[in-house]
Chain A
Amino acid sequence: MKKLRMVVAGNGMVGHHFVDQILALSTDIELTVLGAETRPAYDRVHLSEVFAGKDPKDLSLTSREYYKEHNVDAHFGDAVVAIDRDNKSVKTESGRTFSYDKLILATGSYPFVPPIKGSECKECLTYRTIDDLGEIKANAKDAKIGVVVGGGLLGLECANALKNLGLETHVVEFAPGLMGVQLDQGGSKMLRRKIEALGVTVHTSKATTLISEGDDTKLRMSFADETHLDTDMIVFSAGIRPYDQLARKSGLEVGERGGIVIDYHCRTSDSDIFAIGECALFGKMIYGLVAPGYRMAEIAAQQFVDADEKPSFTGADMSTKLKLLGVDVGSIGDAHGKTADSICYVFSDEKAETYKRIVVSADGKRLLGAVLVGDCSDYDTLLQYYLNEIDLPGSPESMILPATDGSAAPALGPAALPATATICSCHNVSKGDIVNAMDAGCCGLPDVKSSTKASTGCGGCAALLKNIVDHEMEARGLEVNKSICEHFQFTRQELFHLIKVEEIKSFQEMLDKHGSGRGCDICKPAIGSILASLWNDYVLQENHVQLQDTNDTFLANMQKNGTYSVVPRVPGGEITPDQLIAIGEVGKKYNLYTKITGGQRIDLFGATLNQLPDIWRELIDAGLETGHAYGKAVRTVKSCVGSTWCRYGVNDSVGMAIHIENRYKGLRAPHKLKFAVSGCTRECAEAQSKDVGVIATENGWNLYVCGNGGMKPRHADLFATDLDDQTLIKYIDRFLMFYIRTADRLQRTSVWMENLEGGLDYLRQVVIEDSLGIGEELEAQMHHVVGTYQCEWKTTIENPEKVKRFRQFVNSNASDDNVVFVEERGQMRPANEVERQKLIAKSA
């Protein structure tokens, strides 16, 4: 029998998903893929992450090799330009023809650029492909101001990209509000407020009439209301249009406003041609999200299975949850409350800047829709109520009202979900699929993920999936393996508890009582850290030496060539001229590379092991002490200059920062800790990106917790407001000790918070209301650590036996001949491989 020849036009996310579906059917189909872009399918949803440092390569969903392995004849950078329906063949841009038995159109969409005079200039760009990103990046290089036209989902994504590129960013929207499709007026207003607080200027109800040359800027946008806006570049993201030209030219039925018309089986008006994704029009609607596109791909693929009943596409849920410019936004079902007789409940908190609205059926039993801005923690639960038509509780408003008197909103546990409940909407995985996969032998989260593909799309369901898997594991009597490593069958939290309750003072004692083997580089530092948090012994004490990472062993940070960096503590970033001179003299004497750190102190690089004690002796003589930059410990407390000097400051932020830094310096924790104190709401110390952030108010201090910069930035949560000095310290004491007690190994406070059952509210109960009755104990523990502080470097240089440890060789005074430096910009740096070979050869 002759093989079925199938051509897929388009290799975006949906086109690729279709190919994967066909390959999974393992039917005898000869597949040809023709993509317009030069690269195989990639993840368009996370495009803006490229500007936050993600490698474009990491976005790819497939590769040429993958297609080759699976005998798919794939061509990229050669778009289909014509369909010859009579001869059943397609023609590409380069002039090649491919004949087909079945043709799948997955041509996607293109960004809509409104017909505005001047919009064809080279500083006017669009935002859809990786190539577009390159253009935006190139243009941003010599631009100061950037405008995004379009305040929808993609527009705001794009605004984030411009902001990440360091541009003064504006969003211009034609409609009166942002994200008009997904949000009601109240939600849209709150979103605007939050986005503007992040420094993005929003202009709504603006119709651009002309783009011309600016006076001091490259461009000027003129609006219908006779106002104007100067900018250096413009990115259009005002919606998408289905790419349906191919269908149009070949006489397939298309919608009035575009889109290739398809039926329940994703078939076009030609029964041998299918259309899926954003180019397809189903029920007068274009589905501009990836999940419905995937669904279409699956339905279309199923049509080639020999079965009596073929599945149908019947529309798709357009609920969505995402983070725009760091703001959580969620929209479910009928967000605008258009259903007749629907009732709606709204809760808006302008202080915490959150907005929640639910739309409920007339009888109060069903959830019809919801809008969430600023806090999406209820999204998963609400979505399950909506999708599975679960009966709402007697008072539906409890779903969105903040917990008072300790009664949290009714959570929908994994057990309450029906088997049909969709957990992962990207890959259409239901709870039943997950349970089946586990019945078939999947054990643990990674297994379930690779088998069902759940949570491998947008990742929005990760927390829910983990809950279900854990619940199912427990229900099956399987233990969820949370052990830290092969030597201890305990979590970090359990280890902490054992060490505390049994007053264990050394690793060996712990290993003898509760472990096996010798230990390893996972459990040794983890237990070393717990011992330090609890008993605060000198870390280089005989029985603790073997536990420490090299940074802790040598009280300095190892750099790539095996040398170390030295960071003296500069509390609050306040430093005297004499101390500056002392640091400068040490840098000069030992020929160290010096750099200012992000935490307002000075880093000295390139010290060899044997130089460390001498360097520290000089620093300590000048009144400096160790900065613990090498430890999983409290690092810095950054501060702005505060009310002492600043015209706007309302309190002494430097004084408070120094007080806090001196209190917690040296505190060992599961991971490093960074603090900041700002003297007013202008927040120059960036306290909201820190583990502990303090911001002065007219009435005291606002405390923020669990923020993070780094790889995965997280805005800190506002924990308590208008605190006096004493209460502030009390809360920080309790917060830190509770974190140290309960966090996993190497878990930053941000991730700890994301995983903390009950979240921020629970943490408030523990710290503020002392719901566990451990408040005083936590404070006492902190008191002990504060009271037993020592400068580890001072202790070390005073002990000749410890200083011996810093010899490069135990049997020679030679130095490491592999450590060689070259000069750059007036300072030394490690030689690179080529330079090093040359230098070593020369000296030999």
Chain B
Amino acid sequence: MEKAKQVVCQTQDLIPNSGVCALVNGKQVALFYFPEDDQPVRAVSNWDPIGQANVLSRGIVGDLKGRLVVASPLYKQHFDLKTGECLEDDQAKLEVFPVSIEENLVLWG
């Protein structure tokens, strides 16, 4: 039998076209919410590997040449929300986590 998925938070905790931070198994995770998209929630690590602080959930989201990105609020580098890649620095990369929405719940895994 499939193991029940862990509940992270409710969808009403998310902010459309913006980010919030959740603590999942001791790890800080930035959750971005795009209500219109097929995959409406994206999760990456909240740690900014360049700015060295837990801040990515507070960055501005958008797209650059078709890639869904968040801009670091510290030094403005862009990270691809689907792959975790940094557009300006190929040494820097974010962890990307699978999340999904069921009913009004954000689920981990």
Residues in A lying within 8 Å of B, measured CB to CB: 486-487, 517-521, 523-525, 545-551, 553-554, 558, 560-562, 805, 807-812, 814, 816, 818-819, 833
B39 within 8 A of A: no
CA gap between A205 and B71 in the complex, in Å: 61
Excluding A546-B17, A549-B60, 8 further A-B contacts by CB distance (< 8 Å) are A486-B64, A517-B62, A521-B71, A521-B76, A546-B15, A560-B51, A560-B74, A810-B22
Contact A520 B15 (CB under 8 A): no
A–B complex contacts, Cβ < 8 Å, 5 sampled: A517-B66, A521-B78, A558-B74, A810-B9, A816-B54
Q: Which of B21-50 contact A (CB under 8 A)?
A: 21-24, 28, 31, 47
* Contact assessment for B23 and A814 in the assembled complex, using a CB-CB cutoff below 8 Å: yes
B8 part of interface (Cβ distance < 8 Å): yes
B13 is an interface residue with CB less than 8 A from chain A? yes
Q: How far is the CA of A809 from the CA of B16 in the complex (A)?
A: 17
Minimum CB distance partner of B48 in chain A:
A562
Residues of B within 8 A of A809 (CB): 21-23, 28
- Whether A550 lies near B8 (C-beta < 8 A) is no
Q: Does A520 lie within 8 Å of B69, measured CB to CB?
A: yes
> CB < 8 Å: which of A546, A810, A833 contacts B13?
A810
| Contact assessment for B52 and A833 in the assembled complex, using a CB-CB cutoff below 8 Å | yes
Beta-carbon contact of A546 and B61 below 8 Å: yes
**Which B residues are CB-close (under 8 A) to A808?**
21
Residues of B43-89 contacting chain A, CB below 8 A: 47, 51-55, 58-66, 68-69, 71, 73-74, 76, 78
Contact of B53 among A551, A562, A807, A811 (CB under 8 A): A562
Q: Does B20 contact A (CB under 8 A)?
A: yes
Chain A residues with CB under 8 Å of B63's CB are 517-520
Partner among B28, B31, B60 whose Cβ is within 8 Å of the Cβ of A521: B60
Decide yes or no whether B18 CB sits under 8 A from chain A. Answer: yes
A546 contact from B8, B54, B60, B73, Cβ within 8 A:
B60
Closest B-chain residue to A553, C-beta based? B58
Query: How far does the Cβ of A560 sit from chain B's closest Cβ, in whole Å?
Result: 7
Q: How far is the CA of A833 from the CA of B64 in the complex (A)?
A: 32
Q: Within the complex, which residue of A549, A558, A810, A818 is in contact with B20, where a contact is CB–CB below 8 Å?
A: A810
A517 partner residues in chain B, CB cutoff 8 A = 62-63, 66
- Hey, which chain A residues are within 8 Å of B73, CB to CB? 549-551, 558
**Given the complex, which residues of B lie within 8 Å of A833, measured CB to CB?**
52
Cβ distance A818 to chain B, nearest Cβ, rounded Å? 5
How far apart are A804's CB and chain B's nearest CB, in angstroms?
8
Interface band, chain B: 35 or more
Q: Which residues of B contact A545 (CB under 8 A)?
A: 15, 18
Q: How far is A545 from B31 in the complex, measured between Cα atoms in Å? A: 16
With the chains together, A812 CA to B53 CA distance in Å? 19
How near does chain A come to B32, taking the closest CB pair, in angstroms?
A: 10
With both chains docked as a complex, state the minimum distance between the C-beta of A160 and any C-beta of chain B, in angstroms.
32
> Which chain B positions have C-beta within 8 A of A546?
15-18, 60-61
Of A548, A550, A558, A811, most buried by chain B (CB within 10 Å of CB) is A811
A523 to B64: give the CA distance in the assembly, Å: 12
The CA-CA distance from A549 to B64 in the complex, in Å, is 17
Question: A554 and B58 in contact (CB under 8 A), knowing A520-B64, A810-B21?
Answer: yes
Closest chain-A Cβ to B18's Cβ sits at a distance in Å of 4
B74 touches A811 (CB 8 A): no
A811 lies within 8 A of B23 (CB): yes
The answer to whether B65 touches A486 (Cβ under 8 A) is yes
In the complex, A811 Cα to B9 Cα: how many Å? 6
Q: Is the CB of B22 within 8 A of A818?
A: no
Residue among B64, B66, B78 with max Cβ neighbours from chain A (10 Å): B64
- Complex contacts, B9 vs chain A, CB 8 Å: 810-811
Q: Which chain B residue shows the least CB distance to A520?
A: B62
* Chain A residues, CB < 8 A from B13: 810-811
Instruction: With CB as the reference atom, state the residue of chain B lying closest to A805.
Output: B15
Q: Nearest CB to that of B62 among chain A residues?
A: A520
Note all chain B residues with C-beta closer than 8 A to A812: 22-23
The 8 residue pairs across chains A and B that have the minimum distance between CB atoms = A520-B62, A550-B73, A521-B71, A562-B53, A810-B13, A546-B17, A521-B60, A812-B23
A525 CA to B18 CA, complexed, in Å: 13
Query: Once the chains bind, are A521 and B62 in contact (CB under 8 Å)?
Result: yes
Chain A residue numbers with a CB within 8 Å of B22 are: 809-812
Determine the chain A residues whose CB is within 8 A of the CB of B60 once the complex forms: 520-521, 524-525, 546-550
Pick from A487, A548, A562: contact of B54, CB under 8 Å: A562
A811 in contact with B15 (CB, 8 Å): no
**Inter-chain contacts of B64 with A (CB < 8 A):** 486, 520
Question: Which of chain B's residues have a CB closer than 8 A to the CB of A560?
Answer: 51, 53, 74
CA distance A750 to B50 in the complex (A): 32
Query: What is the distance, in angstroms, from A510's C-beta to the closest C-beta of chain B?
Result: 14
How distant is B22 from chain A, measured CB to nearest CB, in Å? Answer: 5
A516, closest chain B residue (CB): B63
Bound form: Cα–Cα A228–B65 in Å? 69
Measured between alpha carbons, how far is A545 from B19 in the docked complex, in Å?
A: 10
Contact at B54–A550, with CB atoms within 8 Å?
Answer: no
Report how far A52 CA is from B27 CA in the complex, Å. Answer: 44
Q: Closest residue to B51 on the A side, CB-wise? A: A560
CB <8 Å contact, B53 and A550: no
| Residues on the B chain within 8 Å of A487, using CB | 62
Question: What residues of chain A lie closer than 8 Å to B21, measured between beta carbons?
Answer: 808-810
Structural contact, B23 and A520, CB atoms closer than 8 A: no
Contacts of B17 in A (CB 8 A): 518, 546
Give the distance in Å from the alpha carbon of A524 to the alpha carbon of B63 in the complex.
11
The residue on B at minimum CB distance from A554 is B58
Complex Cα distance, B73 from A549, in Å, reads 7
Q: How far is the CA of A246 from the CA of B8 in the complex (A)?
A: 79
A521 to B9, CA, bound (A): 27
Q: Contacts of B69 on A, CB cut-off 8 Å?
A: 520
Q: A521 to B58, alpha carbons, bound, how many Å? A: 12
- In the bound assembly, the distance between CA atoms of A811 and B12 in angstroms comes to 12
Please determine whether A550 and B55 come into contact, CB atoms closer than 8 angstroms: yes
Chain B residues contacting A818 (CB-CB under 8 Å) are: 47, 53-54
Chain B residues whose C-beta falls within 8 Å of the C-beta of A811 in the assembled complex = 8-9, 13, 22-24
Instruction: Report how far A379 CA is from B63 CA in the complex, Å.
Output: 45
Partner of A562, one of B24, B55, B65, B78: B55
A809-B20 Cα distance, complex, nearest whole Å: 7
Q: How far in angstroms is the closest Cβ of chain B from A699?
A: 48
CB distance from B17 to the nearest CB of A (A): 4
Q: How far is the CA of A228 from the CA of B14 in the complex (A)?
A: 75
Q: How long is the Cα–Cα vector from A692 to B18 in the complex, in angstroms? A: 36
With both beta carbons as reference points, the residue of chain B lying nearest to A816 in the complex is identified as B54
Q: A521 to B54, Cβ gap below 8 A?
A: no
Chain B nearest Cβ from A821, distance in angstroms: 13
Write out the residue numbers on chain A whose beta carbons fall within 8 Å of the beta carbon of B23: 809, 811-812, 814
Q: Which of B52, B76, B78 has the most CB of A within 10 A?
A: B52
Nearest A-chain residue to B68, judged by Cβ:
A518
Q: Taking CB as reference atom, which chain B residue is nearest A508?
A: B17
A558, closest chain B residue (CB)? B73
Query: In angstroms, how far is the closest chain B Cβ from the Cβ of A807?
Result: 8
Quote the shortest CB–CB distance from B106 to chain A (angstroms): 9
Min CB distance, B94 to chain A, in Å? Answer: 16
When A560-B51, A809-B21, A811-B9 are in contact, do A521 and B59 touch as well, CB less than 8 Å?
Answer: yes
A523, A548, A558, A814: residue with the most chain B Cβ atoms closer than 10 Å: A558
Q: Bound state CA distance, A546 and B62, in angstroms? A: 10
Report chain A residues within 8 Å CB of B16: 546
> Are B20 and A561 touching (Cβ within 8 A)?
no
| CB-defined contacts of A805 to chain B, threshold 8 Å | 15
Bound together, the chains give a CA A550 to CA B51 distance in angstroms of 14
